[in-house]
Amino acid sequence: MPVDTHQCSDIDTRLSSGDPQVRRLAMTELDDALDIRHLKLLCDALSDADVAVRRLALKYLEELGDPAAIPFIVRCLADDVEDVRAAAKSALREFRDQSAGPPLMAAAQDSDSRIRSGAIFGLRELRVTEAIPMLSRLAHDPDVEVRREAVLALGFMQDSACLSALEAALRDADAYVRRLAIGALAMVDAELIAQVIVEMLNDIDWQVRQEAAIALNKFPTECVAKGIIRALSDPAWQVAKEAAAVAGRKKIPAARQIELLLAHPQPDVRRAAIVALGELKSSAGAIRKMLDDPDGDIRKAAQHALEQMEYQF
């Protein structure tokens, strides 16, 4: 297909106009004629003073998907306008070719933490194993957003080389980093990792403990039973609820401890306890009493659990 250099030149000229409306119109005209010959023009437009022009340029670069644009796109991660930063992140998400790895890895070591964070985000889907040592270092970055992105990216790698960095992240000062590390480690089917996550049931942050309880559902019952039974009495109802759910699904013999949750003031906990006891085929008498619970969802759960148990018997 012949290249229409006249059209490209005309748009380039209008993008140099002092009138932002002229520049915007010139950009919108690329909609029906976009191709690789516009790459330099679009990269240059990322430094335009007009927000709409920058956003349109990012949109078109996302459609082109040429890794040569990555060094220019990552600079937009430090843009003063949130919409432009979001558009840059969206564009980076679309670069799935392995050739995008090196420029993203270079950007992940930028002095600006926003650029580091965004570049790691772009690396996440690529799963380039060469990036693991760098991501492991960034998991200790002074900036918390960078650490969060790095830990999340390490989890996406699903590589044993990430384990030491992820285990170290369990001791991070930021609770969300610890939660992300738990989720990442849960992807590794190993008894050793199960014990590490069980220890996180003692974390000071209830959301971290909740994440640990959820993650333990992925491991063999014998590795997690004691921890889950202990979590049934956690002071945070969200943790106790998840522990009950895991106990039921994994058939952990904890009916006595789960029965205590039937008197919990939080309806979600009572319902989880009923479901768990139903899965355990236990405590029919205690479940029958829940048919008088003031919460309709609780009564339905109790009826369903009893029906399951009667069918079994």
Domains, the chain = 1-95 (1.25.10.10), 206-313 (1.25.10.10)
| Tokens 């979001």 belong to residue | 86
Confidence band, pLDDT 50/70/90 cuts, at residue 311: low
| Closest of 214, 219, 242, 243 to residue 229, by C-alpha | 243
Alpha carbons 249 and 258: distance in angstroms, whole number: 13
Q: What is the pLDDT of residue 247?
A: 97
**Residue 3, both tokens:** 């290249």
**Residue 114, both tokens:** 């926003």
Higher confidence at residue 39 or residue 249?
249
Task: Centre a 10 Å sphere on the Cβ of residue 39 and count the other Cβ atoms it contains.
Answer: 16
| Tokens 């014998």 belong to residue | 222
Q: Is it the case that residue 118 has pLDDT exceeding 80?
A: yes
Higher confidence at residue 33 or residue 138?
138
Contact status, residue 298 vs residue 270, Cβ threshold 8 Å: yes
Alpha carbons 98 and 96: distance in angstroms, whole number: 6
> CA separation (Å) from 134 to 16, 147, 150?
40, 12, 9
Count Cα neighbours of 247 within 13 Å in the Cβ-side half-sphere. Answer: 34
Q: Is it the case that residue 137 has pLDDT exceeding 70?
A: yes
**Residue 28, both tokens:** 């919108």
Alpha carbons 110 and 163: distance in angstroms, whole number: 25
The backbone region for 110, taken as left when phi is positive above 0, alpha when psi lies in -120 to 50, beta otherwise, is beta
Alpha carbons 234 and 240: distance in angstroms, whole number: 6
Alpha carbons 298 and 313: distance in angstroms, whole number: 23
Q: Is it the case that residue 164 has pLDDT exceeding 50?
A: yes
Q: What is the pLDDT of residue 189?
A: 61
